[in-house]
Structure 1
Amino acid sequence: MDKETFEKHKPFAGETKPSMLRRRIGHDYQSRRIYLITMTIAGRRPLLGKLVGNCNAPEGTDEAPHIELTELGLRVRKCWMAIENHYPAIKVLATQIMPDHLHGILFVQEHMEVHMSQAIKGFKTGCNKVYRELYPSAATLSPQRNPDNAQGLLWDKGFNDHILDYGVELDRWFQYLRDNPRRLAIRRTYADYFKVRFDMVVAGQSYSAIGNRFLLNHPQRLPIRLSRRLTNEEIEKSVSYYLALARQGAVLVSPAISKGEKAVMRAALNNKFPLIFITSYGFTQFSHPGHQFYDACAEGRLLLLAPWPHQNRKEPLTRTQCLQLNSFAQEICQHG
């Protein structure tokens, strides 16, 4: 949908609902771009493979976490790689098949006559044929919570896409895909720290939370609040000051809004000090920490708190929201 059509229909669309399947408004999905594509198995059934390995094993060793694909998983991978044959303008740059979902990076090398969703639709059609071939009773295997899936369809409806830029962002997503099995192994090994908890009340405020909730009981919790006007030299001094307190046992608490607050929290994370991070983006039942937070979460050094509901669209924080988040940090530190 182009932006003009979107704006024309927007007044009649009703309340915006969070969705991972919404396309970017104003983008034609035919031009030369790189896309991260994610699709999930209907009902989140682990049909494509199983996780094996130890999350603490070094990367590249036999014991490192990886996915052993089922026959269906192998056939799905074959269908995915065949996208290049059906759509020569598309190049498959990376693939990571997990037990219940697939991540892939596609490069549209030149303008296509069709919308990229046509390529995804063709891929799904091929997968459904394979699925019904391997599971003849597939139509009866659909989970009850997916009543629309009555024809033996392998995938959930739609797909999620993220348009990637060249360079650092692309390299970061390559690493994300490679590291996916390890992160899954970490979540399973330290399941309690990665479970999303809803309606956790702290100092009268309700939060959704991921991580070590017992950090809230630490006797020394210290809010980080630094002016946006600090010079780089002043920020360096602030980092040294707060790291010294963290070495003495303080748990640092912040929404990390200003440049200085970000620098302090980043330095504390890199030095493996315990943190309580207040995020403006809420969680769903499938949420998990960002890549940079995984190890800290597994080691019990991190608690993520979200005071507001999940939203896909990341809007800039207002001044009122910034003040609220800093107020929450202060209240968390004063809470008995």
Structure 2
Amino acid sequence: MGRCYLHDYKGRCIYHITLSKAGEIPVFGHLCGHFPDSVIVRSRLGAVIEKNIRRMGSFDSALRVLQYCIMPDHVHLLIFVTAPLSRHLGAYISMLKVRIHQDYRQISGEALTVFEKDFYDCILRPSRSLDTIYRYIRENPRRMAVRREHPEFFRRVNALRIGDSTYNAYGNFQLLDCPFKEQVIIHRKDSPETRRLNREKWIYTGSNGGVLVSPFISASEKTIRDEAESVGARFIHIVGQPMEERYKPAGREFRLCEEGRLLIISAGLPGPLTRPVCLTMNALANQITEGC
């Protein structure tokens, strides 16, 4: 995955790491129980993964696992680097993968690769709430149960409350729960350097499991969306026009909705795309990014 080029991966920081299961490997566990009391029961491989996660501090005394969640096909880790590391964080993630692979081979006799290559990482910046990250990781099984038991939630949602207002929406409303959201907005007065740095931030966020929030009005913003979509980004797209009762996205937006990568929220503003309408949509994108 894309790393954040301006970030020091040896320095003191908190990271949300996601490791994805390789396709041919058995699942790490099974969802049991019904929402809201759903839990993941570890498989034999899941137990191996948990054992090694708990031992990760032995790699370096500065590595501290604050929280983890082992899902059937991926693993979430909240890692606190408490002091400068002697090696890049990625080296320790590789060590974890190797030890899990070795232990699994011993108990199964299979020399299969457990995880996909590389990993997703999100950096916990000062503006992010640590409690929000804890809750997001802890509630992964519950969100999975909702997706299975209530597929209707992933289509049309009426009266979606954001702040003191309600909106019509279509798509994956769980994207609102993602703690790593970035608003995409490009101003005419932005310098080339500001645009370059913002682009790197948005592509990094999109390629590492975050969510990009925007009306994507200008040609430059649409270009960012196209590039981010190609690296697997997820989106909350603010639209101005009200959603008709039988509204259904078409083309690329329908495909993204089917993949769970898009939530479309209507600001409910009929009429042409005027400057006040654009300001209202960008204000809503900011509210979602900062407040949800």
Structure 1 and Structure 2 fold alike (TM over 0.5):
yes
| Gap change, CA 1:44 and 1:33, over 3 Å in 2 | farther
Give 1:75-86 correspondences, 5 Å limit.
75-86=48-59
What residue in structure 2 maps to residue 242 of structure 1?
Answer: none
User: Is residue 275 of structure 1 aligned with residue 168 of structure 2?
Assistant: yes
Deviation at 1:133, TM superposition (A): 2.0
Q: Is the 8 A contact 2:40 2:141 kept in 1?
A: yes
SS of the residue 1:42 aligns to: coil
- Secondary structure (helix, strand or coil) at the match of 1:182 reads helix
SS at match of 2:23: helix
Q: Distance in 2 between matches of 1:334 and 1:188?
A: 25
1:87 aligns with 2:60: yes
Q: What is the CA-CA distance between 1:76 and the residue it aligns to?
A: 0.7
What is the CA-CA distance between 1:36 and the residue it aligns to?
A: 0.4
**Amino acid of the residue matched to residue 320 of structure 1?**
S
In structure 2, do the counterparts of structure 1 residues 83 and 335 end up closer, same or farther at CA, with 3 Å as the change threshold? closer
Q: How far apart are the structure 2 equivalents of 1:183 and 1:72?
A: 22
- Per the TM alignment, residue 47 of structure 1 is displaced from its structure 2 partner at its CA by 1.9
Q: What value does the CA root-mean-square deviation take over the aligned residues?
A: 3.5
1:266 and 2:146 matched:
no
Change (3 A) 1:134 1:36: same
Among 106, 115, 118, the alignment partner of 2:91 is 118
Aligned to 1:27: 7
> Which residue identity is paired with 1:31?
G
Provide the C-alpha distance between the structure 1 equivalents of 2:72 and 2:245, rounded to a whole number of angstroms: 43
The one of 44, 47, 53 equivalent to 2:33 is 53
Q: 1:320 aligns with which of 218, 228, 234?
A: 218
Counterparts of 1:136-175 in structure 2, within 5 Å, are 136=109, 138-139=110-111, 152-165=112-125, 169-175=129-135
Counterpart-to-counterpart distance in 1, 2:125 and 2:221:
33
1:1-336 equivalences in 2 (<5 Å): 21-43=1-23, 47-56=27-36, 64-136=37-109, 138-139=110-111, 152-165=112-125, 169-194=129-154, 211-212=155-156, 265-269=162-166, 275-276=168-169, 289-292=174-177, 312=206, 314=212, 320=218, 329-330=240-241, 332-333=243-244
Moved more, 32-41 or 157-166: 157-166
Q: Deviations over 1:54-100 (max 9, x none)?
A: 104xxxxxxx1111111221111111121101211111111111111
Structure-1 separation of matches of 2:241 and 2:126:
40
**Cα deviation, residue 122, structure 1:** 0.4
Normalising by structure 2, we get a TM-score of 0.60
Cα distance, 1:169 vs. partner? 1.9
> 1:334, 1:130 → 2: CA distance?
54
Q: What are the superposed Cα offsets for residues 202-229 of structure 1, whole Å, 9 maximum, x if unpaired?
A: xxxxxxxxx22xx7xxxxxxxxxxxxxx
- Find the residue that maps to 2:9 and give its secondary structure: coil
The answer to whether the 8 A contact 1:45-1:100 is kept is no
1:99 and 1:315 mapped to 2: Cα distance?
28
Higher alpha-carbon Rg = 1
Shift in alpha-carbon separation, 1:46–1:321, aligned structure 2, 3 A:
farther
The C-alpha deviation readout for 1:287-320, integer Å capped at 9, x for no partner, is: 7722549xxxxxxxxxxxxxxxx96264876653
Cα–Cα, structure 1 residues 124 and 335, in superposed 2: closer, same or farther, change >3 Å? closer
Aligned to 2:290: none
Question: What percent identity do the matched residue pairs reach?
Answer: 26
SS of structure 2 residue aligned to 1:114: coil
Q: Aligned partner of 2:97: which letter? A: K
**Structure 2: runs of 5+ lacking an equivalent:** 179-201, 223-236, 248-292
Which amino acid is 2:52 matched to?
C
Instruction: Measure the CA separation in 2 of the matches of 1:68 and 1:160.
Output: 24
Per the alignment, in what secondary structure is the counterpart of residue 156 of structure 1?
Answer: coil
- Contact 1:34/1:106 (8 A) holds in 2: yes
Q: Report how many residues are paired.
A: 204
- Distance change >3 Å, CA 323–CA 113, structure 1 → 2: closer
